Amino acid sequence: MSPPVGAPPSTERIRAAIAPVLDRLRAESARRDAEREHPYAEIRELAAAGVLRFRIPAADGGAGASVRQLAELIIDIAAADPNVAQALRPGFLVAESLVTGALAGEERRAVLERVLAGDLFAGTVNESAGRPGGVRTRLVRDEHGWRIDGRKFYSTGGLHAQWFSGTALDEQDRIVGFTVPTDRDGVVRLDDFDAIGQRLTASGSTLLQGVRVAPGELGEPDARKRHPHGSLAHLVLAATLAGIAAAARQDAVDVVGDVARPIKHSTATRAADDPYVRLVAGRIATAAFTARAQVVAAAEALDRHWATGDEDTAVGAVVSVAEAYVGAGEQALAAAELLFDVGGGTLTRRDLGLDRHWRNARTIANHNPRGWKAAAIGAWLLAGESPPANGLF
């Protein structure tokens, strides 16, 4: 479903357009997880409905949403299916670059045109070989021009995307960014992501086999990172974790009503009347509420920074996002584990798929270890040390 033809995009119109898609995603989430069926059609519908235009300024043809509004949208998408929220993450980051001034001139015009056309994006700097964080993909020149050779991993959203971005080492061993269309000769996308959770994020390998690249498709060598550029990437993950907690809350309500029975020595005739079941449901609901509140607070910190643009609000926003990531992860894991306490052994049936919430939360939490973020938060509080500006905070 798309917004009405000719109607200017707005947060309300985009929300209304994607609502039925989220309903379908929610209804099929457990089955797709069990059968490893990618939601190709649903992600395409979300793109057509303008979900990546949500935060683009109105003057550029977008809905002009705040970071808080975007975070709430992502939480709701993740509550329907966290795989979809994460698969869209590279697109949300590309759209954010249009809002925050990270792109300018012809490059911005080209990217804006792609977003407005409903294109989807993938990208990663990650490689599974070599040292962590290292880049072995090469940008070399031959008689025909520039080409890229290498292999990237965690290419989130890669199977859905029209554009792929990554990094390579040039002939002076400088790191250079690049963006190429995914249908270009030599770009090979593999569905080889085999984690315990978030199985349908299309986060497998991208092979770059002699991929031709034009000078205009290359970024500046060794481009400097600075706060809080990059923080939205981690806020999206935190929002996805909050969505998982919300999904666990909804499943608790559903299974208590439809599946669970009171234990033999309970005085209740319905699971919903058992005081201990009510206690667990309340704890799950509290975890979901807390996760959402933490993400919203961090999003508001980013909004404050983009309103002022000063360094103090930049670092403060980065720390807030780190706090939300740690907190939402803990709440999502707790909610997913508590879910099984609203019933007995019946809830472990594989056809219910309730284990997917914990597996999904655990997988996201492992991508950016919470210990490093928590330690960086402590360093800021106790010694005034800013988190490193390496894109991981």
Q: What is the DSSP string of 33-56?
A: HHHT---HHHHHHHHHTTGGGSSS
* pLDDT, average across residues 5-32: 92
Domain with 48 in it: 11-119
Best CA proximity match to 128, nearest among 155, 158, 153: 153
Cα separation of 193 and 191, whole Å? 6
CATH no. for residue 338? 1.20.140.10
The Cα-based distances of 118 to 61, 81, 272, 346 in angstroms read: 12, 20, 44, 43
Specify if 317 maps to a domain.
yes
Query: Residues 146, 184: one domain?
Result: yes
Angle (nearest 5°) at CA 142 between 136 and 145? 100
Which residue is listed with tokens 């005081």? 275
Among residues 57, 88, 119, the one where a domain terminates is: 119
At 6, the pLDDT band (50, 70, 90 cuts) reads low
Does position 2 have pLDDT exceeding 70, yes or no? no
Cα dihedral sign, 70-54-126-80: positive
pLDDT in tens, 73-108: 999 999 999 999 999 999 999 999 999 989 989 999
At 53, the pLDDT band (50, 70, 90 cuts) reads very high
CATH no. for residue 94? 1.10.540.10
How much of the chain, in percent, has pLDDT values that exceed 90? Answer: 82
Specify if 240 maps to a domain.
yes
Tokens of 383: 């010694």
pLDDT in tens, 369-384: 889 999 999 999 999 9
Cβ contacts of 14 within 8 Å, gap of 6 or more:
3, 49, 50, 51, 53, 54, 63
Does position 4 have pLDDT exceeding 50, yes or no? no
pLDDT in tens, 321-342: 999 999 999 999 999 999 999 9
Name the domain count of the chain.
Answer: 3
Residues 357/266, Cβ–Cβ less than 8 Å: no
pLDDT in tens, 205-251: 999 999 999 999 999 887 888 899 899 999 999 999 999 999 999 99
- This prediction has a pTM of 0.96
At 265, the pLDDT band (50, 70, 90 cuts) reads confident
Query: Residues 242, 312: one domain?
Result: yes
Burial profile 119-144: b = 16 or more Cβ within 10 angstroms, e = fewer: bbbbbbbbbeeeeeeebebebeeeee
Residues 187/206, Cβ–Cβ less than 8 Å: yes
Does position 176 have pLDDT exceeding 80, yes or no? yes
Cα separation of 38 and 43, whole Å? 9
What is the pLDDT, as a whole number, of residue 309? 84
133 versus 66: which is more confidently predicted?
66
Query: Residues 193, 322: one domain?
Result: no
Which residue is listed with tokens 């980065």? 318
Does position 43 have pLDDT exceeding 70, yes or no? yes
